[in-house]
Amino acid sequence: GWSLTTGRINADSYDDIVMGTDGFPVDTFSAGQVYVFYGGPTLDNQFDDSYTLGRMQHDYLGFSVASGVDMNADTHDEIIVGMPGSSDGAPSAGGAVLLRGGEPIAVDTTVLGSMANEESGHSVVLWAGFGGGNAFAFGSAAQSFGNFRGRLFLYATSAPQQNRAPVISVPGPQVVTAQNLLSFTVTATDPDDTVPQLSLANPPGGAVFTDNLDGTGSFSWTPSVSDTGQYNLLFIAFDGELADSGAVPVQVLDTGSCCHGTTGNVNNDPADIVDVADLTTLIDNLFISFTPLPCSEEANVNGDPNGVVDVADLTTLIDHLFISFIPLPTCP
């Protein structure tokens, strides 16, 4: 090995060894090659990965190597390799190759010298934190720049874009009377220009929330009288990694009527069941004891606009229970 460095190339808990052999192979004089030996509890003399640039004579790939910096925030350290003898840009102009870490390593960027005899790549380095991002550099000490003054070439990379959380927007507190429709829209934006996924974490029974797949979501709910009470609906925007949430307080008010759902619960039982017991109560009210009904709106089963309860309601209830089974009208 002509040059050596270390880095976490395969992103495990062990440092790896990178070795440059600028004189390899024998059959293609001084083309050069780079070898990676993965670290571990024990080491052997077998390389785990390697790279060569087409085996051109006198490339001297591997004359210099550097690692130890994760340039693209993927947990793998990159490798910069100098090749001062390369003539791809100009005769003996040299250059450098940036290899992405991983299994296997792969070429990310190749930079070539532009002047004959520049011999860039005698030295290489990776620079963490340069300008808020990272950078790689290689040097030339050749006569091309006059009196062997040399030159350093620095290439900055932008800082990896960190994912930012979406922002959700929800309406303020909502109030709805039972048996009435409540609907509103939830919106979300993402500073990274992705379309967030929208969801409702705790939908009440019968409520529907639809993600429109365009950064908006539609909520609709017609609560029943039994849904009377307070709710705190939690809406979530998710971009695949990060989330934002917003809560919408909802108050469902009673209708103010003793009639709930459909008519027919003449005896006003808590379960709101319409059966023979309701028929008995209505007969007793109309023909026997004339005891006032607990809820006359429930007994108005024929939907009389004046709310009158009479034999027509008795006939409708009998028909519903025993003959046609036609559904009873909803409460006014």
Tens digits of residue pLDDT in 238-287: 999 999 999 999 999 887 778 888 899 999 888 889 999 999 999 999 99
Q: Is the pLDDT of residue 144 over 60?
A: no
- DSSP H/E element including 315: helix 311-318
User: For position 155, what pLDDT does the model report?
Assistant: 84
User: For position 64, what pLDDT does the model report?
Assistant: 93
CATH superfamily of 3-157: Integrin alpha, N-terminal (2.130.10.130)
User: For position 86, what pLDDT does the model report?
Assistant: 87
Structural domain boundaries of the chain? 3-157, 167-253, 257-332
User: For position 235, what pLDDT does the model report?
Assistant: 98
User: For position 2, what pLDDT does the model report?
Assistant: 85
User: For position 238, what pLDDT does the model report?
Assistant: 97
> How confident is the prediction for the chain on average, in pLDDT?
89
Q: What percent of the chain has pLDDT over 90?
A: 58
- DSSP H/E element including 128: strand 123-128
User: For position 187, what pLDDT does the model report?
Assistant: 98
pLDDT level of residue 36 (50, 70, 90 thresholds): very high
What whole-number distance in Å separates Cα of residue 267 and Cα of residue 298? 8
Burial 123-142 (b: 16+ CB within 10 A, else e): bbbbbeebeebbbbbbbbbb
pTM above 0.85, yes or no: no
Domain pair 3-157 / 257-332, same fold: no
Of 22, 5, 45, 35, the residue nearest 105 (C-alpha): 35
CATH T-level fold of 257-332:
Type 1 dockerin domain (1.10.1330)
Mean pLDDT, range 127-138, rounded to an integer: 82
pLDDT level of residue 54 (50, 70, 90 thresholds): low
Architecture of domain 167-253: Sandwich (2.60)
Residue with tokens 């004959």: 116
User: For position 16, what pLDDT does the model report?
Assistant: 94
Q: Is the pLDDT of residue 146 over 70?
A: no
